[in-house]
Chain A
């Protein structure tokens, strides 16, 4: 199972990298979202995918799945969520001000604003 997940995570990372290297800003943002999915899936996989009950304490249960990676993922998800929403709003503002979403046209230095 871990093997399959690793392959999937690899594909996700590949797609994310490809999107991050594209011209349009929106594609780049989709790339960051895809990247964070891959990261969270990897975190879950690396915690181990053994069979067990959900980590809720009940009588008579002996084996649980590891609760720690789940807590880490939950933290990472909300952080990624906050950052992504900030990035989206900033991309919107940048589009309003700069009138472009082409990353190539966002080059330049302080000589020409």
Chain B
């Protein structure tokens, strides 16, 4: 049972490999990937429970001792993120069955889907910096295939940009690893952390920390490095967009969280100031985009950047409260962004357009859709009983405690403007006089609604049942606040 934390990586990997052999048999593909994603959820839920009872789980792959082999580490943070990833993957998969279309399904959509999950789960679980790079590449390679699959003009055009940005950021990642290796001489994250604390973070380590911020900022769309995101995320079909929006940027955010709390926590004066500034700028930039566009896809896409900013602000403050808030908000945001993408996907499949001016009065014919959207909009903005509230509350509280009043105030104001941007969709799209749309008959709204309804229920439970979830989240934040726990678990001193 000690290999248990490998299962969330292994199950999608094996599924992906098996699915390659059945590429033309769509029914078999759906069944196999559906069952495997359900079992991934089950396995990761058991993993979370196991960590709750026994503490951090580590696995030295092929029994090489910690700094010498690759060590996989599942602490509460990574296990929770793996669980969230599995839930997002499963619901997106259910949605894909109805919406992705047979042409794409026949050309290795499901294998790519599974390999993407392998990369994401691996990146969350690994304890080795170069292995993190490899899992990033697994994830990115699958995402390249998914973003261009179908080969429409807009997809080809935007994929080239997406590829180029990620190739450059991967090259930067390797450069940064090379620098770090030449300074500390090890690749295991716990061991790196120990070595850095021995030399007490000289200037060169701070430079490397900033380089890591640039690398992960490019992956995670932090403000000046988020220029590629609005165009690229606009191109692929809705389920792929939902996967990207929920998972890819969040892996970058997780990596920033991990490196800044585990490796570079000694001399935080400079790094945290930069992190806070970039976070606030991301929030502002994202808000400007979200308010400026009258295109429902674009509004949600810019909201990704806002959420990245909010989470990063929590990380930059570095108190227990703010880190707990960041973890909570990260999980909430993965769920709610998927919900929103899937919901606007349904709107687009009904109306055939993503322009807000051409949509109105949907609530008459689709009350279920409307109220689900309303709930997820409130949850995104952080209205108290729903899941977005507690995370933001803790982040703001941490910000005020640490004396960063400006940042905390901007996080608060951002909620209001997020609500405005998303209510714009609700008021313009759902209220007003009903219209009829071409192709409305074909849209199978009832079956498409299954996935977002599951997600919104989980999200509501996360908000209402915060009392029950809180111990898990605070255990996750505890490792972030006290990296010794992580180091001791890996190096077993």
Contacts and interface: CB of A to CB of B under 8 A. Distances in A.
Interface of A: 20, 25, 28, 32, 35-36, 38-40, 42-43, 45-48, 68-69, 72, 75-76, 79, 82-83, 86-87, 90-91, 93-94, 97-98, 106, 108-110, 113
B141 A93 contact: no
Interface residues of B, number: 34
A83 B141 contact: yes
Interface string B25-45: 000000000000000000000
A39 B182 contact: no
- In the A-B complex, the 6 residue pairs with the smallest Cβ-Cβ separation, listed nearest first, are A46-B182, A46-B178, A43-B178, A94-B156, A39-B171, A39-B174
Q: Looking at A75, A86, A93, A110, which has the most chain B CB atoms within 10 Å of its CB?
A: A110
18 contacts: A35-B168, A36-B171, A39-B175, A43-B174, A47-B182, A69-B181, A72-B174, A75-B134, A79-B170, A83-B137, A86-B145, A90-B144, A94-B157, A106-B157, A109-B231, A109-B234, A110-B354, A113-B152
B228 interface: no
Given A90-B159, A113-B153, 5 more contacts: A28-B164, A83-B137, A83-B170, A86-B163, A87-B160
Given A83-B141, A83-B163, A87-B163, A46 B157 contact: no
Given A36-B171, A43-B174, A113 B154 contact: yes
Contacts of B22: none
A110 B137 contact: no
A38 B174 CA distance: 10
B179 to A, nearest CB: 6
Interface in B122-170: 130, 133-134, 137, 141, 144-145, 148, 151-154, 156-157, 159-161, 163-164, 167-168, 170
Contacts of A46: 178-179, 181-182
Contact of A97 (B144, B156, B168, B171): B156
Contacts of A47: 178, 181-182
Nearest to A73: B174
B168 A75 contact: no
Contact of A98 (B153, B168, B187): B153
A96 to B, nearest CB: 9
Chain A interface, >50% SS class: helix
A90 B133 CA distance: 23
B163 A90 contact: yes
A99 to B, nearest CB: 10
Nearest to B131: A75
Interface string B308-343: 000000000000000000000000000000000000
A90 B144 CA distance: 10
Interface string B178-195: 110110000100000000
A32 B178 contact: no
A98 B156 contact: yes
B160 A76 contact: no
B137 A79 contact: yes
B141 to A, nearest CB: 7
A66 B121 CA distance: 31
A72 B354 CA distance: 45
A24 B184 CA distance: 40
Contacts of A98: 153, 156-157
A32 B234 contact: no
A3 B148 CA distance: 42
A103 to B, nearest CB: 8
Interface string B282-325: 00000000000000000000000000000000000000000000
B178 A42 contact: yes
Contacts of B178: 39, 42-43, 45-47, 69
A106 B156 CA distance: 10
B160 A97 contact: no
A82 B115 CA distance: 15
Nearest to A82: B141
Contacts of B170: 79, 83
Contacts of B157: 94, 98, 106, 108
Contact of A72 (B130, B145, B156, B167): B130
Nearest to A25: B160
Contacts of B130: 72, 75
Nearest to A79: B137
